């Protein structure tokens, strides 16, 4: 394929509507992306062998409307476009030895570089490992000056004996990235270490779990916004609860409640789970239900999804809600940040000026029964934070009785 222009005019020829937001058009030509590194790049220990690559492709193509073509000499994983340059066990110097030939053959527009794990595990001249990575970055930039190089820190180590080596290596990378950018090279840094926890590393202590690889895909995607997102809306997160979307981390995952029981049938708590009964898009939606047992204080906040989503100053949350009883309008999506803040307590308001809190959503009387209602909330009060969990909350102090409804198509988009 011919090389694509990466500027804001790359493709804005078509407009689609996603939950009331204009989505960017797909480029006429694919962006050539080379995943470069060792076994984590290949995707070892992921259940499908795709590692982060399939998640990143889904995000770029389905969320941001950017068509990509993975390039490389290897084929790994179940995905159709499975080209890569992930070489298990290879150190930085070994990757560098093959890089010129791979670049000449594939001519990527973007290189995703994750290398150095094997230098740490093999205890190979660790004090100079960051310098070797810097030379590799300069080698890539010299071969393809127009290509963007997105280099990542190493993921956490599951083995305690290597944790300090990973931390020391990672600590050197921000200065290297700044120096390379100051020299005019198209280099960006993404912090994988901050995006993954040690619990996201599998039993072999080296490779991420499926959840960890998914988080890696999310992190690469966020880092590519300045490269591919100029002049276009950039969805930071989207889930319509379809079979190809992120599956619920928690079903009926009550994080805190008072005076809320089950909807029927011997249930003792507020439910929150995937159903195929009513959907705003696809065939599935997130159902919530329960029984309000107090006219003075009743609430339940259920954990739904474990995520890691940075919030930009222009970010907007949208979702659709389908309440089936009056009490069901006292429900809302809530966001819990890594620093302990929450959407419901942030003061953020929806498109009607109503607070993004389940109590005020119900009192606002803008949610109509037995139909889909769109809620849109500007997240500026939470700018700079990172979403750690997505919750579904019910809060209604003044009434009793059952409640039930559905939520679908949760979007967080930066304009």
Are 275 and 218 in a shared domain? Answer: no
pLDDT over 70 (residue 239): yes
Are 263 and 177 in a shared domain? Answer: no
Are 224 and 251 in a shared domain? Answer: no
- 334-363 tens-digit pLDDT: 999 999 999 999 999 999 999 999 999 999
Between 63 and 190, residue with greater pLDDT: 190
Quote the pLDDT of residue 77: 98
Task: Give residue 81's domain range.
Answer: 16-232
- 94-124 tens-digit pLDDT: 999 999 999 999 999 999 999 999 999 999 9
Quote the pLDDT of residue 172: 98
Are 136 and 273 in a shared domain? Answer: no
Task: Provide the Cα torsion 137, 142, 148, 153; round to 10°.
Answer: 0
Cβ partners under 8 Å of residue 160, min gap 6:
none
- 386-405 tens-digit pLDDT: 999 999 999 999 999 999 99
Q: Which one of 232, 262, 291 terminates a domain?
A: 232
Are 223 and 301 in a shared domain? Answer: no
Are 207 and 334 in a shared domain? Answer: no
Are 263 and 372 in a shared domain? Answer: yes
Q: Which one of 176, 209, 232 terminates a domain?
A: 232
Q: For residue 3, is it within any domain? A: no
- For residue 361, the domain's CATH number is 2.60.120.260
pLDDT band at residue 4 using 50, 70 and 90 as cut-offs = very low
Q: Are 308 and 195 within 8 A, CB to CB? A: yes
Percentage of the residues of the chain whose pLDDT score is greater than 70: 93
- For residue 151, the domain's CATH number is 3.40.50.1110
Are 292 and 160 in a shared domain? Answer: no
Are 30 and 91 in a shared domain? Answer: yes
pLDDT over 60 (residue 8): no
Q: For residue 174, is it within any domain? A: yes
pTM: 0.79
Nearest CA to 112 out of 195, 188, 50 is that of 188
Are 114 and 258 in a shared domain? Answer: no
Are 87 and 176 in a shared domain? Answer: yes
Q: For residue 277, is it within any domain? A: yes
Mean pLDDT value across the chain? 91
Q: For residue 298, is it within any domain? A: yes
Are 265 and 333 in a shared domain? Answer: yes
Domain count, the chain: 2
pLDDT band at residue 238 using 50, 70 and 90 as cut-offs = confident
Quote the pLDDT of residue 310: 87
Percentage of the residues of the chain whose pLDDT score is greater than 90: 83
- 277-334 tens-digit pLDDT: 999 988 999 999 999 999 999 999 999 998 888 899 999 999 999 999 999 999 999 9
pLDDT band at residue 243 using 50, 70 and 90 as cut-offs = confident
pLDDT band at residue 146 using 50, 70 and 90 as cut-offs = very high
pLDDT over 80 (residue 9): no
Cβ partners under 8 Å of residue 87, min gap 6:
37, 38, 39, 41, 42, 74, 94, 95, 98
Q: For residue 5, is it within any domain? A: no
pLDDT band at residue 11 using 50, 70 and 90 as cut-offs = very low
pLDDT over 90 (residue 189): yes
Q: Which one of 208, 232, 256 terminates a domain?
A: 232
Q: For residue 250, is it within any domain? A: yes
pLDDT over 90 (residue 20): no
Instruction: Write the secondary structure of the chain as one string of H (helix), E (strand) and C (coil).
Output: CCCCCCCCCCCCCCCEEECCEEECCCCCCCEEEEEEECHHHHCCCCCCCCCCHHHHHHHHHHHCCCCEEECCCEECCCCCCCEEEECCCCCHHHHHHHHHHHHHHHCCCEEEEECCHHHHHCCCCHHHHHHHHHHHHHHHHHHCCCCEEEEECCCCCCCHHHHHHHHHHHHHHHHHHHHHHHCCCCEEEECHHHHCCHHHECCCCCCECHHHHHHHHHHHHHHCHHHHCCCCCEEEEEECCCCCCCCCCCCCEEEEEECEECCCCCCCCCEEEEECCCCCCCCCEEEEEEEECCCCCCEEEEEEEEEEEECCCCEEEEEEEEECCHHHHCEEEEEEECCCCECCCCCCEECCCCECCHHHHHHCCCCCCCCCEEEEEECHHHCCCEEEEEEEEEECCCCCEEEEEEEEEEEEEEC
pLDDT over 60 (residue 196): yes
Q: For residue 156, is it within any domain? A: yes
pLDDT over 50 (residue 19): no
Q: For residue 11, is it within any domain? A: no
Quote the pLDDT of residue 231: 75
pLDDT over 70 (residue 21): no
């Amino acid at each position: 394929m011919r090389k694509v222009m990466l500027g804001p005019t790359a493709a804005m020829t078509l407009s689609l509507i996603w939950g009331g937001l204009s989505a960017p058009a797909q480029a006429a030509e694919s962006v050539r992306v080379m995943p470069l590194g060792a076994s984590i790049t290949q995707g070892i220990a992921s259940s499908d062998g795709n590692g982060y690559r399939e998640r990143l492709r889904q995000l770029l193509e389905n969320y941001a409307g950017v068509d990509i073509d993975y390039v490389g000499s290897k084929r790994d994983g179940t995905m159709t476009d499975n080209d890569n340059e992930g070489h298990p066990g290879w150190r930085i110097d070994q990757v560098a030895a093959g890089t010129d030939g791979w670049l000449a053959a594939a001519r990527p527009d973007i290189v995703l570089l994750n290398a150095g794990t094997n230098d740490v595990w093999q205890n190979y001249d660790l004090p100079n490992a960051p310098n070797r990575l810097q030379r590799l970055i300069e080698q890539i930039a010299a071969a393809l000056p127009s290509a963007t190089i997105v280099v990542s820190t190493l993921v956490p180590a599951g083995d305690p004996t290597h944790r300090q080596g990973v931390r020391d290596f990672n600590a050197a990378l921000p200065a290297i990235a700044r120096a390379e950018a100051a020299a005019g090279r198209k280099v960006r840094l993404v912090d994988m270490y901050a995006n993954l926890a040690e619990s996201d590393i599998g039993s072999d202590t080296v490779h991420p779990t499926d959840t960890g690889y998914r988080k890696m895909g999310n992190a690469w995607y966020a880092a590519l916004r300045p490269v591919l997102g100029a002049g276009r809306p950039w969805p930071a997160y989207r889930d319509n609860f379809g079979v190809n979307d992120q599956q619920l981390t928690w079903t009926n995952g009550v994080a805190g409640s008072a005076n809320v029981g089950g909807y029927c049938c011997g249930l003792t708590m507020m439910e929150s789970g995937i159903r195929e009964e009513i959907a705003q898009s696809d065939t599935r939606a997130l159902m919530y239900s329960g029984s309000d047992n107090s006219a003075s204080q009743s609430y339940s906040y259920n954990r739904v999804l474990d995520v890691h989503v940075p919030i930009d100053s222009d970010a907007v949350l949208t979702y659709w809600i389908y309440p089936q009883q009056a009490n069901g309008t006292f429900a809302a999506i809530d966001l819990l940040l890594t620093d302990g803040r929450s959407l419901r307590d942030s003061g953020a308001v929806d498109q009607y000026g109503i607070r993004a809190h389940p109590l005020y959503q119900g009192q606002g009387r803008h949610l109509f029964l037995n139909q889909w209602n769109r809620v849109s909330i500007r997240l500026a009060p939470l700018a700079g934070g990172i979403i750690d969990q997505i919750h579904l909350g019910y809060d209604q102090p003044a009434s009793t009785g059952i409640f039930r409804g559905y939520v679908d198509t949760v979007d967080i988009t930066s304009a």
